[in-house]
Structure 1
Amino acid sequence: MRSISSSVHAFLIIVALLESTDTTSVELPGSSDLESKARSLLDDLSKQSSEKCTESVFASWAYYTNITDENKEKMLELNLEFSKWEKGAWKQVMEWKDRWPQLKNDTLKREFKLLSILGTSALDEADLEKFNHINVDMTSIYSKAKICDFKDKTKCDLKLEPEIKKLLTKSRNVDELNYVWTEWRDQTGKKMRELYKQFVKLSNKAAKLNGFDNMGDMWIMPYESDTFRQDVDDLWTQLKPLYRQIHAYVRRKLREVYSKDVISKRGPIPANLMGNMWAQSWSEVSDLMVPYPKKSFPDIDAELKAQGYTTLQMFELSDEYFKSLNLTEMPEPFWKHSMIERPDDRDVVCHASAWDFCNGVDFRIKQCTSLTMKDLITVHHEMGHIQYYLQYKHLPAVFRAGANPGFHEAVGDTLALSVSTPKHLHKIGLLKELHKDKEVDINYLMKMALDKIVFLPFSVLMDRWRWDVFSGKNHEDNWNCAWWKLRYELQGIKPPHQARTENDFDPGAKYHIPANVPYVRYFISFVLQFQFHKALCGLADQYDPQDPSKPLHQCDIYQSTTAGNAFADLLKLGSSKHWSVALKALTGEDKIDASAIKEYFKPLEEWLIEDNTKHGEFIGWEKDGDYCIGEKTDDDPSPSGGQSLLFSSWYILVLIFTLCFQSLVR
Structure 2
Amino acid sequence: MGTSKVSFVIVQLFAFFTWHAIAQEYVRMASNTNAAEAMQFLREYDREASGMCYRVTMSQWRFVTNITEYNRRRMLEELALNSKFERLSWRKAAAYDATRVSDVQSRRQLVKIVQGSRAALPEDKFNEIQQIITEMKEIYNAAKICPYGQKPYDSHLQRDSPFYPQSRQEPYDQTRSHTQDIYQPFGPGFPHETPENSNYCDMQLDPEISRILAHSRIESELVYVWKSFREQTGPKMKNRFMRYVQLANQAAVSTGYSDAGDQMRASYEDPSFRASLEEIYNQVAPLYKQLFTYVRRKLIQRYGERVVRPDGPIPAHLLGNMWAQNWKSIMDLVMPFPQAPNIDVTSEMLRQGFTPLRMFQMAEEFYTSMGMKPAPPEFWRGSMLARPAERSVQCTASAWDFCNRIDYRIKQCTEVTMQDLVSTHHEMAHIQYYLQYAEQPQLFRDGANPAFHEAVANAVTLSVYNIQHLQRVGLYNNRTHDPYQVSMNFLMTMALEKVAYLPFAFMVDQWRWSVFEDGVQNMNSRWWQMKLRFQGVIPPMQRTEADFDPGSKYHVISDQEYIKYFLGTVLEFQLYEQLCQAAGQAGHLHECDVYRSRDAGRLLSEIMQPGASKTASEIIRTMTRGRTNRISPESLVRYFRPLELWLRVQNRDEPLIGWSSNYQDIGLFAPQRGHGIKATYSMVLLVLSMMQFLFL
Same fold (TM over 0.5): yes
Structure 2 partner of 1:547: none
**Alpha-carbon displacement from aligned partner over 1:132-159 (angstroms, at most 9, x marks no partner):** 2222222232233333222545033333
Q: Pick from 399, 410, 413 the counterpart of residue 455 of structure 2.
A: 410
Q: Does 2:654 match 1:610?
A: no
Q: Matched residue pairs, number?
A: 589
Give runs of aligned pairs for residues 145-294 of structure 1, distance below 5 A: 145-153=143-151, 154=155, 155=157, 156-294=201-339
- The verdict on how the C-alpha distance between 1:40 and 1:394 changes in structure 2, with shifts beyond 3 A counting, is same
Q: Pick from 555, 560, 570 the counterpart of residue 517 of structure 1.
A: 560
Does the 8 Å contact 1:138/1:195 carry over to 2?
yes
Q: Pick from 114, 117, 120 the counterpart of residue 119 of structure 1.
A: 117
Deviation at 1:162, TM superposition (A): 2.7
Letter in 2 for 1:584: R
Q: Does 2:530 match 1:530?
A: no
**Alpha-carbon displacement from aligned partner over 1:542-572 (angstroms, at most 9, x marks no partner):** 23xxxxxx22111011111210121011100
Structure 1 partner of 2:491: 445
The CA RMSD over aligned residues, in Å, is 2.7
Give runs of aligned pairs for residues 417-566 of structure 1, distance below 5 A: 417-434=462-479, 437-471=483-517, 473=518, 475-496=519-540, 498-543=541-586, 550-566=587-603
Deviation at 1:456, TM superposition (A): 0.5
Structure 2 partner of 1:96: 96
Structure 1 partner of 2:446: 401
**Alpha-carbon displacement from aligned partner over 1:565-601 (angstroms, at most 9, x marks no partner):** 2101110011111111111112122111111111111
Structure 1 partner of 2:370: 325
Task: Report the TM-score when normalising by structure 2.
Answer: 0.79
- The verdict on how the C-alpha distance between 1:348 and 1:212 changes in structure 2, with shifts beyond 3 A counting, is farther
Report % sequence identity. 39
Q: Pick from 593, 598, 601 the counterpart of residue 632 of structure 2.
A: 593
Does the 8 Å contact 1:411/1:529 carry over to 2?
yes
Q: What is the SS of the residue equivalent to 2:400?
A: strand
Structure 2 partner of 1:363: 408
Does the 8 Å contact 1:304/1:430 carry over to 2?
yes
Deviation at 1:189, TM superposition (A): 2.8
Deviation at 1:536, TM superposition (A): 0.5
What is the rounded CA distance, in whole Å, between the counterparts of 1:185 and 1:540 in structure 2? 47
Letter in 2 for 1:610: V
Deviation at 1:114, TM superposition (A): 2.3
Deviation at 1:235, TM superposition (A): 0.3
Does the 8 Å contact 2:399/2:428 carry over to 1?
yes
Between 1 and 2, higher relative CO (CA 8 Å, sep ≥ 6) is seen in 1
Does the 8 Å contact 1:426/1:432 carry over to 2?
yes
Letter in 2 for 1:269: I
Does the 8 Å contact 2:345/2:418 carry over to 1?
yes
Q: Does 2:41 match 1:41?
A: yes
- The verdict on how the C-alpha distance between 1:294 and 1:616 changes in structure 2, with shifts beyond 3 A counting, is farther
Does the 8 Å contact 1:413/1:529 carry over to 2?
yes
Q: What is the SS of the residue equivalent to 1:295?
A: coil
Deviation at 1:118, TM superposition (A): 6.4
Deviation at 1:294, TM superposition (A): 2.3
Letter in 1 for 2:127: E
Letter in 1 for 2:403: C
- The verdict on how the C-alpha distance between 1:590 and 1:467 changes in structure 2, with shifts beyond 3 A counting, is same
Q: What is the SS of the residue equivalent to 1:365?
A: strand
Does the 8 Å contact 1:534/1:596 carry over to 2?
yes
What is the rounded CA distance, in whole Å, between the counterparts of 1:342 and 1:232 in structure 2? 40
Task: Report the TM-score when normalising by structure 1.
Answer: 0.82
- The verdict on how the C-alpha distance between 1:449 and 1:499 changes in structure 2, with shifts beyond 3 A counting, is same
Deviation at 1:352, TM superposition (A): 4.0
Gapped runs of 5+ residues in structure 1? Answer: 1-32, 544-549, 633-666
What is the rounded CA distance, in whole Å, between the counterparts of 1:481 and 1:348 in structure 2? 38
Letter in 2 for 1:41: F
Structure 1 partner of 2:431: 386
What is the rounded CA distance, in whole Å, between the counterparts of 1:78 and 1:449 in structure 2? 42
- The verdict on how the C-alpha distance between 1:119 and 1:103 changes in structure 2, with shifts beyond 3 A counting, is closer
Does the 8 Å contact 2:297/2:310 carry over to 1?
yes
Q: Which has the larger radius of gyration?
A: 2
Deviation at 1:291, TM superposition (A): 1.4
Gapped runs of 5+ residues in structure 2? Answer: 1-32, 158-200, 674-696
Q: Does 2:611 match 1:577?
A: no
Q: What is the SS of the residue equivalent to 2:202?
A: coil
- The verdict on how the C-alpha distance between 1:460 and 1:348 changes in structure 2, with shifts beyond 3 A counting, is farther
Letter in 1 for 2:537: I
- The verdict on how the C-alpha distance between 1:132 and 1:35 changes in structure 2, with shifts beyond 3 A counting, is closer
What is the rounded CA distance, in whole Å, between the counterparts of 1:432 and 1:617 in structure 2? 40
What is the rounded CA distance, in whole Å, between the counterparts of 2:461 and 2:387 in structure 1? 23
459-468 vs 190-199, greater mean Cα deviation: 190-199
- The verdict on how the C-alpha distance between 1:421 and 1:125 changes in structure 2, with shifts beyond 3 A counting, is same
